Amino acid sequence: MTFENTALLTDQYELTMVAAALRQPIAHRSCVFEVFARRLPDGRRYGVVAGTGRVIDELAHFRFGDEEIAIVEKFLDAETVAWLRDYRFSGDIDGYREGELYFPGSPILTVRAEFAEGVLLETLILSILNHDSAIASAAARMVSAAGTRPIIEMGSRRTHERAAVASSRAAYIAGVAATSNLEAARRYGVPSAGTAAHAFTLAFTGPGGPDEKAAFAAQIDALGVGTTLLVDTYDITAGVRNAIEVGGTGLGAVRIDSGDLGVLARQVRHQLDDLGATETRIVVSGDLDEYAIASLRAEPVDTYGVGTSLVTGSGAPTAGMVYKLVEVDGVPVAKRASHKESRGGAKTAIRAARPTGTIVEEIVYRSGEPKPASDGLTLRDLQIPLVRGGDPVPGLPTLTDARAHLADGLVSLPWEGLGLSHGDPAVPTRYVLDAAPKV
C-alpha cells in the first residue's frame, strides 16, 4: 500500500517549539508524553481505542524531504531545518491495543523520547487517535444496538475522502460487517458491499414515463438474483411487487431508504411473505444512529446501513484525547490549568475483573512500580509494547485481532455500560500514584 509523507500533517507550533528547544538543553532531555482523555463525550459510557495501527504506519513516513523543507524553512532557522532533514523517531511507544476499551484517565499511549523528537508527534498522533477512536466508539454503540443483525458502513459521501477510508477501518474494528468504501477494502481488507442508488432507477425513464421493472431487471442481469433492490424510489408497495415480479421469490433483499422505517419494514415483510418471498431480506438505511437502530429491534429488519450519523461529528463526537508531557528526566510534571489538569509521572494501567469476567475497575499506577493489589479479582495489563527504538514491534495485533478483542471487551462490561442512556463511565478509574502531582 502507498502512504504519503506525513511530516506536514501537523501544526506549525510543533516545529517552532522544536526550534526554541534546540537552543536549550531541553531538546535532548529524556521525556515521557502521554495520550489520555480527561472525560468521555456526553452520553458515552466507554470509549474504543482505534487508530493505533495507523499511527505506527504513518510514523514511518514522518520525514522531511525537499518538498517539506521548502515549506518549513520559510519560518525556521537553518539549524532547525538541518535537524528536521535528519529526523527519525528513535524512541519507544507503549499503549492500549486497538479494540481496547478506554475510560477517563486511561494512559492510551505513552511516548518515551527526547523532548524534540517526542513533541513533534503530538498533532499526528492526536489527529489519528481522536478521529478513529470517535468513529469506533460510535460504531460499537450501533453494533451493540443491532445485536446479531449486520451493519454496512456507507458514510463515504458524507465526509472527507481520506477520512472515509479511516472511518471504514475504525468501524470494522467495532464490528461493522462491511463498507461501501473500496479504498478501505483495498488498503485494509475490509469486506465491501454495494448495489445501486436511486439514480439508477430514475435513469430508466422514457417517453412512457418511469420503468422501475426495467431498472430492476438490468440490475439483476448484471449482479444476479441475490442482489438488493432499492424499492422506495417511487412507491414502496409497487416497488416491492415489481421487485418480486422481476427477481422472483428468491430475490436476495430489498432496501428501504426513507420514511418511517419501522412501519415500512413491517408492511414490506408482510407483502414479501404474501408474495412467497419469505427468504428475501430487508435492508434499511437513512441517517440511522444507535437510537434509531435500537428502536427497530422489534421490527423485521435484517441489515442496517449507516453513514451520516457514524462519520460526522453529531454521531461520533470527538474522543477529546490530549497529548501531554508528564515526565522530564524522571521528574513528574503536571499541568495546573483549571479544567485542563493532568497527573504527572509516567503511568501504566491494569483492568480488574470478577471471576465471571465482568470489569470492576481500571487502575492507573506509576510505571515501574509493583501492580496494586486487588483481592479476588483478575488483573490484566492494558499497555503493550508498540514501538522500540523507532521501529514497530514485530507481531502486533492485526485488524482482525482488534475486532475480536473489542467483541470480547464489550461482553465484559457491566450491563449498564451498554445502555444508551446518560450516566457515569461504565467502569471507574482508580489512581495509585503516591505523591504524583494532581491538580
Read off the C-alpha cell for 75. Answer: 519560518
| Whether this model's pTM surpasses 0.85 | yes
Number of H helices, E strands in the chain: 15, 21
User: For 396, phi and psi rounded to 5 degrees?
Assistant: -65, 155
Split at pLDDT 50, 70, 90, the class of 221 is: very high
pLDDT in tens, 136-163: 999 999 999 999 999 999 999 999 999 9
Split at pLDDT 50, 70, 90, the class of 313 is: confident
Residue 307 near residue 158, CB atoms below 8 Å: yes
| d(C-alpha 386, C-alpha 404), whole Å | 19
| d(C-alpha 221, C-alpha 374), whole Å | 63
Average predicted confidence (pLDDT) for the chain: 94
Burial class (CB in 10 A: 0-12, 13-18, 19+), 356: exposed
User: For 263, phi and psi rounded to 5 degrees?
Assistant: -60, -45
| d(C-alpha 302, C-alpha 281), whole Å | 6
Give the gyration radius of the chain's Cα atoms.
Answer: 25
Split at pLDDT 50, 70, 90, the class of 184 is: very high
Read off the C-alpha cell for 82. Answer: 538541518
Residue 103 near residue 45, CB atoms below 8 Å: no
SS3 assignment, position 422 = coil
Strand partners, 112: 32, 92
| d(C-alpha 161, C-alpha 309), whole Å | 16
SS3 assignment, position 289 = coil
Q: Which residue has the cell 489512581?
A: 431
For the chain, domains (ranges, CATH) are 12-136+316-347+382-424 (3.20.140.10), 147-309 (3.20.20.70)
Max distance between CA atoms of the chain, in angstroms, equals 82
Output 229 or 438, whichever has higher pLDDT: 229
pLDDT for 339 equals: 66
Answer whether residue 438 shows pLDDT above 50. no
pLDDT in tens, 323-338: 999 999 999 998 776 6
